[in-house]
Structure 1
């Protein structure tokens, strides 16, 4: 049988990260590659108790089909925790925040539509957007996020005006950077002036180390933004639950796209999350995640400072989240380095895949949250050895050139 694929299927590509994760399943590999929360943070006992209570008190309801919008009490909890006035009717529970990106893409993108993203940006968002065949344009970015003065140059006009600007202002994936208060205020004002909506993705915002980030951009212009959140990073990713907070004018179409995709997210999981959260559990639980991740970040920073001496490797210091962004010496390519690192039993994600255009081959993403301090020390030392080996391998080539 000769299957004729839809044109959108040709736009679908495998996740670079998921492909690398297959390599990390080998015994002995220390992985800085996956964006996985630490399983040490999963509240297994609390979910065991919640599971029993949900089945005892409302088993038939939990196991039945449910409303596409989501479980009412959970939607109310989401609305109540946000730092601006939100009607629970604006909340749509999704099957992970990744589905939220997919719904936004289906509702807002036509073939050829201009979509703006940070430089670099979240690879999963690019995967969600590309089947809709947009024209994805990277906006210049620095250590504080979007460069506001570049937005008018990239926003387009008329039929080619950007449908939305997608960004992660808090502890961004992949760079770990955080947008300052001043940058948020300026960007929000300029986007509103240009009439460019913002899709604000905030899966990591609760994972700050020393001080919480500034208020969401959505809080400044709720009618001009759609806001995406997740329970994966503060509870457990296996639940596959996230949420969208949308302006009332946009919510019905997102709901219709959700109905077509999966009818509803698992009602049983939603009830369990609501049961776990109802007594302020997150206020007690999330600080333990922050403390663990901060200690692991500090261990990686110390190891990098120790092991990368003399190698001209650069890296940042994230103020929260799960990722650190590094840049290799001039002339190196992270994709070429990866197999040599894997030979030394350490893995990372090359950074070029996170760019909409013209990826920086020297960049790489390091996740510090699933490795122990000992593994971080061993893994960073192995990565440094691989870099030295690659530099030595390239030196004769440079001399010959």
Structure 2
């Protein structure tokens, strides 16, 4: 069997289950296969692995490799592996980890209860469970625009009709959401939002908009799918209350959380916090996926948090990610200046960059191809919109690279933009 590698941006965007796929004439594919659009973000890992030259990686939204507490994990893993951690676990999660999450949140503005929690295989499984529970084919799902590819892609995989809602400096434009819903004549079953340090824009939904969104959700009977992987990574500004703080125990708020962005994505440990009446359905839905989340991984996370390293770890991350974000800001100012406009996140991982003036004629997708050849990678804007919008924009991750590597990467990006601009001007 020959495996065809992903080698171009086209490979990332065309390997989809579309009605024109030649497989459809030869295999009895289900109709839902047409909605399996995949993730350009995740597929970029394979694309980058196929490159043989040095690349500064602003593409994947991953923690800095050096920020992962690997030594502590090795020590804890040795303890865990001395015990029986190799059998099946409870579908809802290991009791010790559930108790640890509850205890950790007991002193925060959003305390929780074991009956609200189900441990998941990363945040992505939480999103999948939410759409599985709430969305039928043809239902309307409102998403931010731009948005996280994997979230909108999961909605599409369940047959949703996706309604893109613009984002500005205060997050999702909730007034625009209301107008768009009115124009469609249909109510959204789910409103999917990444409210804090949004992926990909880095913006944060303001408190007035959060309150307004809660009101609309109750008026419409819509579920707010509250996806917050980055909320604990605030390094500037003032904290904004979460949905569960503004509306405690609200049955229309379904929260997805993960340790991927603050500990290590490879552990694949997250959780959902939802109305206790949903727990039996969440367990049943998860049993149809993977039976249980990786048991040794759960035990590693539990012990790391219980042994007191978690809060200090988060504090170090905030300091380091602020340093890296400021380094990216400075490099962009030096090498790109007024040619681009960027967002100014107060935490998280991402900057959203929009080309300005004559440079806006450059296609972000073409810029990606040139930049990759020049030795720098990012995610082009069209990959972050179900409709392929934002041809003049792209996402940069500042968390993964040191300031020194960021300087090199932005220099390469400026050179790539020069080459792309020359192509347009010819």
Measured against the shorter chain, the TM-score band is: over 0.9
Alignment match, 1:345 = 375
Q: Give the root-mean-square deviation of aligned CA atoms.
A: 2.0
1:166 to 183, 192, 195: 192
CA contact (8 A) 2:129 2:285 kept: yes
1:75 to 98, 103, 110: 98
CA contact (8 A) 2:97 2:298 kept: yes
In 2: Cα distance, 1:152 partner to 1:233 partner = 32
Partner of 1:139: helix, strand, or coil? strand
In 2: Cα distance, 1:113 partner to 1:210 partner = 38
Task: Write out aligned runs for 1:74-223 (5 A).
Answer: 74-82=97-105, 83-155=109-181, 160-211=186-237, 213-221=239-247, 222-223=250-251
In 1: Cα distance, 2:203 partner to 2:367 partner = 24
CA contact (8 A) 2:73 2:304 kept: yes
TM-score by length of 1: 0.92
1:172-220 alpha-carbon deviations (Å, 9 max, x no partner): 1111111222222232233223322201001011111124631211322
CA contact (8 A) 2:367 2:417 kept: yes
Deviates more, 1:106-115 or 1:8-17: 8-17
Q: Give 1:77 shift.
A: 2.1
Q: Please list every run of 5 or more consecutive structure 1 residues that lacks an aligned counterpart in the other structure.
A: 397-401
In 1: Cα distance, 2:255 partner to 2:334 partner = 40
1:333 to 363, 370, 394: 363
In 2: Cα distance, 1:121 partner to 1:271 partner = 32
Say whether 1:5 aligns with 2:35: no
Aligned residues, how many? 392
1:365 to 388, 392, 395: 395
CA contact (8 A) 2:188 2:220 kept: no
CA contact (8 A) 1:152 1:194 kept: no
Query: Residues 272 and 19 (structure 1 numbering): CA distance in 2 closer, same or farther, change over 3 Å?
Result: closer
1:319 to 320, 342, 346: 346
1:355 to 367, 378, 385: 385
In 1: Cα distance, 2:153 partner to 2:341 partner = 28
1:129-174 alpha-carbon deviations (Å, 9 max, x no partner): 2111110101232111122222333446999421110100111111
1:257-301 alpha-carbon deviations (Å, 9 max, x no partner): 001111110122111111111133211111111111111111110
1:277 to 297, 302, 305: 305
CA contact (8 A) 1:218 1:224 kept: no
Q: Give 1:126 shift.
A: 1.5
Alignment match, 1:292 = 320
Q: Give 1:37 shift.
A: 1.1
Query: Residues 262 and 212 (structure 1 numbering): CA distance in 2 closer, same or farther, change over 3 Å?
Result: farther
Q: Please list every run of 5 or more consecutive structure 2 residues that lacks an aligned counterpart in the other structure.
A: 1-22
1:3-28 alpha-carbon deviations (Å, 9 max, x no partner): 31111122212321233333323231
Alignment match, 1:246 = 274
CA contact (8 A) 2:193 2:225 kept: yes
In 1: Cα distance, 2:347 partner to 2:242 partner = 15
In 2: Cα distance, 1:186 partner to 1:295 partner = 34
Deviates more, 1:217-226 or 1:100-109: 217-226
In 1: Cα distance, 2:383 partner to 2:183 partner = 28
In 1: Cα distance, 2:211 partner to 2:186 partner = 26
In 1: Cα distance, 2:214 partner to 2:103 partner = 23
TM-score by length of 2: 0.87
In 2: Cα distance, 1:358 partner to 1:366 partner = 18
